[in-house]
Amino acid sequence: MRYAMKSLHTTLAALLLAALASGCSQQASPYWSGYAEGEYVYIASPLAGRVDTVSVLAGQNVIKDAPLFSIDAESEQIAQQEAAARLHSAQAQASNLDTGKRHDELAVTQAQLAQARAAEVLASNDLQRQQQLAAQGFVSKARAEDAATTLAQSRARVAELAAATQVARLPGRREERTAQRAAALAAEEVLKQSQWRTRQKQQSAPQAAQVAEVYYRVGEYVQPGQPVLSLLPPANIKARFYVPEQEVGALHAGQPVTLSCDGCGAPIAALISRIATQPEFTPPVIYSNGQRSKLVFMVEARPQLKDATRLKPGQPLDVRLAAAPAVQGN
């Protein structure tokens, strides 16, 4: 009888220890309540206008550089054509100043020079004859003086046309060319500005993302900087949860956690990316009697890109510490 009682006590003690061990081993790790958060990218044009096209729908996935929407750009296109014409004119004037006169214009001056040289030869011969006749007494000295004056005029005309021919081969003055090149550069910058304004009327996706909302339709007028639609890239989806002040000291950036939610399937691995520097009271969005009105720190964690789309902004989450690093970053 005594042996049976001792055996029973031993068995009960063993069962109690096993139960305690089992309870310790199966004790769930602490978790924190949170929700999924999305950082939306709002796409707008810096210029006002009427919406001409909207190429996407809300909920649609788009790739990088996919067209999103366009705004009527008729005024910008006309201004661009005008700027292009002004640039062409300024460049032509600058090029014209870099060269001398045209070949045909130079040929006219050269022909005039040849004519003046022939006249100079005639005037020189006539002077010699008049001087000889004056020496023989057949003509007055005044005739010889007139012939000398005519020769001087012919020589001056030759010098004038020779200088004109040389000038015709020269480009414009340095200051004129500098000013015209500056005018051409200014016209080029005006064209670039006009081209930029035209491009701003057509917006494309800056990265692969899901179209979250479309705020304007074709035909509606939008103000400068007014978002026409919003995007949600996978990299901008994160978990936001709140940790009591007595527990936040054990957390650090880069620490692995797991995210659980209804309908998400297997837990999602994430890394802590931010721990708030200021405490706050549990926000109303956390519907938990156990955590209500507690002083907490906001913590954010980001999953891998391949898992980010499993989270929907606003979705409640349970967050637990992971036993070991589960992700290597995005």
Task: Name the band, by pLDDT with cuts 50, 70 and 90, for residue 14.
Answer: very low
Question: 121 and 166 in one domain?
Answer: yes
Q: Which of 232, 259, 286 is the last residue of a domain?
A: 232
How far apart are the C-alpha atoms of 148 and 154, rounded to whole Å? Answer: 10
Distance CA 241, CA 234 (A): 19
This prediction's pTM: 0.66
- The token pair at 77 is 């296109």
> What band does 23 get if pLDDT is binned at 50, 70 and 90?
very low
171 pLDDT exceeds 90? no
**Average pLDDT value for residue range 115-142:** 82
Same domain, yes or no, for 227 and 92? no
Q: Are strands 209-214 and 221-222 parallel, antiparallel or unpaired?
A: unpaired
pLDDT, tens only, 138-151? 778 888 788 888 88
- 122/260 same-domain check: no
Mean pLDDT across 260-265: 87
How much of the chain exceeds pLDDT 70, in percent? 82
pLDDT category of residue 284 using cuts at 50, 70 and 90: low
Instruction: Point out the domain boundary residue: 141, 162, 191.
Output: 191
Residue 124 and residue 52 share a domain: no
Of 72 and 288, the structure prediction assigns the larger pLDDT to 72
Q: Are residues 256 and 296 in the same domain?
A: yes
Which of 39-43, 150-154, 213-217, 303-307 shows the lowest per-residue confidence on average (mean pLDDT)?
150-154
Count other C-beta atoms under 10 Å from residue 203's C-beta: 19
Residue 45 tokens read as 């044009």
Q: What is the pLDDT of residues 180-208, one digit of tens each?
A: 888 889 999 999 999 999 999 999 999 99
Name the residue among 297, 313, 306 with its Cα closest to residue 252. Answer: 297
Q: Are 47 and 201 in contact (CB under 8 A)?
A: yes
In a domain, 253, yes or no: yes
Average pLDDT over residues 21-35: 62
Q: What angle do CA 238, 239, 244 make, to 5 degrees?
A: 145
Q: Structurally, how many domains does the chain consist of?
A: 3
* CATH assignment of the domain containing 290: 2.40.30.170
Where in the sequence is the domain holding 244, given as residue range(s)? 31-39+233-321
- Given 138, 160, 191, the domain boundary residue is 191
Which has the minimum average pLDDT: 59-63, 155-159, 190-194, 275-279? 155-159
Residues 295 and 243 in one domain: yes
Residue 123 within any structural domain of the chain = yes
Position 49 scores a pLDDT of 94
Residue 79 falls inside a structural domain: no
Q: Give residue 163's pLDDT.
A: 76
Whether the per-residue pLDDT at 330 is higher than 50: the answer is no
Please give the radius of gyration of the chain, using alpha carbons only, rounded to the nearest integer: 46
User: What gap in Å lies between CA 234 and CA 112, rounded to an integer?
Assistant: 80
CATH number at residue 217: 2.40.50.100
Round the average pLDDT of the chain to a whole number and report it: 82
Residue 261 lies in a domain: yes
Instruction: Examine the domain organization and report whether 185 and 93 are in the same domain.
Output: yes
> Where does the pLDDT of residue 111 fall: very low under 50, low under 70, confident under 90, or very high at 90 and above?
confident
User: Do 143 and 55 have their domain in common?
Assistant: no
Q: Judge whether 93 lies within some domain.
A: yes
Same domain for 205 and 66: yes
149 and 294 in a common domain:
no
pLDDT of 57 strictly over 90: yes
Average pLDDT over residues 53-59: 96
Q: Is the residue at 23 inside a domain?
A: no
Do 104 and 245 lie in one domain? The reply is: no
**Domain for residue 78, yes or no?**
no
Whether the CB-CB separation of 245 and 279 falls below 8 Å is answered with yes
Residue 15 covered by a domain: no
- CA dist., res. 229 & res. 45, Å (int): 11
- Is 139 found in the same domain as 276? no
Looking at residue 188, its amino acid is: E
